[in-house]
Structure 1
């Protein structure tokens, strides 16, 4: 009886996010689909060995558990090494511009500045995005400024500060507060030569949680507002940061659908970045999405820097001669996007 009760619980939490409810109690189960899939498999094995179905209702529960397990595998399977990689290596990569990017949610209360500095010195990224940065972190990373003459500092003491460091010139830079008045995002153009640039958007919306926003409405609205902005930009485009969402969620897939941006995790692996201290409760929420004329070469999770997140390192080529058309959206999709944005803006007021 205990096995079947737990099986029912696992079935319910696997299906709850499909209700599109926004409360953290519902949205939170989307984050741990990998973990709950293992639990479902374990319960199935226990039922097969110790409590093989006899009554009709037991067969129904067992079949439903199998179906929800298959559903969860379907959701996360594209982010495994067994799925085809979306990015295809260019025929002549040596003739293309290559750029590197390191992103790290450093945890505001963390003071291991040297750990991150050593990683930056080792990998020498062209672009460095650090999140949860306050004035202490700005001062702690002061030594980097010699190699990164272009900088967008947004020091905040609310765990949503953000600093962008660049070896390349930046232009048309804006620090926007799209939904919540104390949560910034950075929009800028990275001029990797005198005329050519890449649009870079750095984001870190608040998650749905008992200690942050009660619902995901604000986060969802911010991601979709950024999606609308991407549709107005020329390629190439990169959106990166701690999105506080998993890539298989409804809103992340809606974001990818409306922008046409590619998630380089597809075919490469999960690269779970949070929580760095608990291997059994770890999921991918630090992301990079890119337009089709950006081709990711390397994608690597870097070692621990004292934060609750692992840093991520990317290198990518730019195929700037391609003309990328934005996806056409049907009326139903547009209505959902506008509805979610309005709900998030109203919730933030």
Structure 2
């Protein structure tokens, strides 16, 4: 009994040792797997840490770059401020030459710093109003006129999208020798201004006030006057700068919805002029000529009166045969005489019988 038990116990121990030897590789495989998993996890953690470090470094670099840009912007602003202050100081100098240098300095700043354009236009306009009346025939007066002309040219040549409207106020100023292609003077106060020997061809003077302006030798070829006020303006002295002795109103002018009351157009050539919905009450168009196509180098188109108000408009002797948009109602309210040459559709006896021989006079204000 005892011997049999010992024998069985021995076999059990041997079987256990065999089983342990067989399980040993399995335990080793599990440890290997665990170690490999741990290594993979550590590698992933290291990669994440590297990415975090790179991200932090990138953010720090961006912050440093942003700070550097801010420092450069501040430095640049400081330089612009110094240049602006120095230029304004030059405008107040007693020497006309120094003032002229200040004008050119402000013009340069206006090109370099768009956001300062509004302030500079205001300063230059104030300078023009202050000095425009000093122009005389002596040497000092001529130098003053040069600086004023330079300032006006700089304002007229500015880029319109950089500032607000209604900035320019040259009311009552005397301006001369300005030549700017595409001049931008929209929404400007030019009431009572005196302009001479000036060319604003293809310019934009829409929504501006030119009432009571005196225009002597001013070229307006292609200018847009839409919604402007030219009440009381005498345009009979306007002419091409290259032909100072020729009295002619240039072509391609836009006057839609303008206030042209008491404006003097007498004895001018009107070619391709847009008077649509303009107020020509008491305007003087006597002996004007609406020129046909290709009649003259200055006459390159036709003129439209569509919707224009023509109450007491003086048409005595005017040649309107090429006019567009002229109606019976407009003609009857206007002042026309037997000397008025009408378009074919208005030249019937039923209409011409309304012609008057009485002298024209503007209505009482």
TM range (shorter): under 0.3
Larger Cα Rg: Structure 1 or Structure 2? Answer: 2
TM-score, L = length of structure 2: 0.22
TM-score, L = length of structure 1: 0.23
Report which of the two has the higher share of strand: 1
Report which of the two has the higher share of helix: 2
